[in-house]
Amino acid sequence: MKTKLKTAIPAGWIGGFAASNPAFAYPTPDLSSLPMPDNMLNIDKLQRQQAVKWPEFSWETQMGKPDSKRCYQMFAPDISRIGYTDTGKVYSIICPQQGISSPSLGTLNVEVTVTGTRGWVNEDNKELAADMGVVGKIWFSPGAKQNFIVKQLWDHFEKSYLPFPSKKSQAIVVFTSLVGDSEQPVFPLNKGESSGFPIPDFAKHEAAAWTVGNLNVQIGAIKKTGYPVVDEFNKFIMDVFNLGSGNMLQKDNILTWNVWFTQPELVDQDEWASHARKWRESIDADHGSPEGPGTIARYYDGTPFKVGLGTLKDDVESELLKVTEETIKKEEHSKLFNFLEKIEGEEKDKILAALKK
């Protein structure tokens, strides 16, 4: 769905669901009386939608330090959307997705997977409230096997009959939770912008957006697989990911995003299902967005994030990119050596020989 601004809002809005239970009201909407089915289970009930043209993420790159060096980055546009009925009952939310490239390992695919949702939309006052459950999933793109190190590790895992995160079904899973409550996997999508830290002008879209909502989620542990060596490998991959993203998915870090919506549109249920498949297939094939890229990660003053792993654009000083990637590569190799101490075999020997060249 390509978003269209400043066109007529389609007829058919009835409303009323937001007011159907006093507990749903602000300032603290309580949606716990609603069931929370699988996010894709009720596509046949969707009638209206609002697209998220500007998913603006923010996180601390140095968690807990006096100068946390907070980053801001817009993920791929025109991916996320909220779907609901003519009365405003929410049945599905598609979240934005992203990827990252490592100098040592190639491309990693990253997906935010919504496990369930419930809530309401009110087109009359442009408000919304929803609950969501989300996990992060990380796996190698198919092209990553062209990378020598990845190929050797992949072969080693296959020979040992161990799961390797080479496809979504074997992805590394990262749990998330309500901020401050690691036992609560459900967290709210509230109206308005996030608070508690300054938001730069380049991450605001009041002039073009229909409305805005915000989410805050705390990053949890990596899901255990039952295989100690696989768990060690998954930890290594997450360390590599966090090196490149500035600790975006570091345990206990808080990931915040403002979702700037375009005005309501009607749902084509076949298109909705196709849209979800299109993005999954795009990210299964290789890192990229079917609708176009987001922005680079930046600090509040607009300065590009200094540790980029593919987030720095060509117009950034080339020497900075070179130094950055070499620095990260050394860090990645150090973590790789630590992991290789836990395995044996010809693949390990080949990797060590290649790294010594």
Q: Is residue 338 part of a domain?
A: yes
* pLDDT (0 to 100) of residue 97: 67
Higher per-residue pLDDT: 171 or 296: 171
Q: Write down the pTM of the prediction.
A: 0.86
* pLDDT score at 156: 95
Check pLDDT > 70 for residue 318. no
Tell me whether residue 4 is in a domain.
no
Domain contains 173: yes
How many domains, the chain? 1
Of the listed ranges 66-80, 204-218, 276-290, the least confidently predicted one is 276-290
Residue 3 lies in a domain: no
Q: Please state, rounded to an integer, the average pLDDT across all residues of the chain.
A: 86
pLDDT of 164-195, one tens digit each? Answer: 998 888 899 999 999 999 999 999 999 999 99
The percent of residues above 70 in pLDDT, for the chain, comes to 86
Examine residue 304 and state whether it is found in any structural domain, yes or no: yes
∠ Cα 315 320 313 (to 5°): 30
Residue 9 lies in a domain: no
Of 136, 225, 137, 235, the closest CA to residue 176 belongs to 136
Residue 72 lies inside a defined structural domain of this protein: yes
Domain-embedded: residue 6: no
Question: Poorest-confidence range of 149-158, 209-218, 294-303?
Answer: 294-303
**pLDDT given at position 110:** 79
**184 touches 134 (CB < 8 A):** no
Which tens digit of pLDDT belongs to each residue from 259-277? 999 999 999 999 988 876 6
Which residue did the predictor score with more confidence, 232 or 330? 232
Whether 165 contacts 158, CB under 8 Å: no
Query: Apex CA 125: angle with CA 41 and CA 203, to 5°?
Result: 80
C-alpha torsion sign, points 301, 194, 250, 116: negative
Q: Identify the pLDDT of residue 145.
A: 75
The domain in which residue 280 lies consists of 17-356
Task: Find the largest Cα–Cα distance for the chain.
Answer: 68
Mean pLDDT of 227-248: 91
Highest mean pLDDT among 76-80, 110-114, 155-159: 155-159
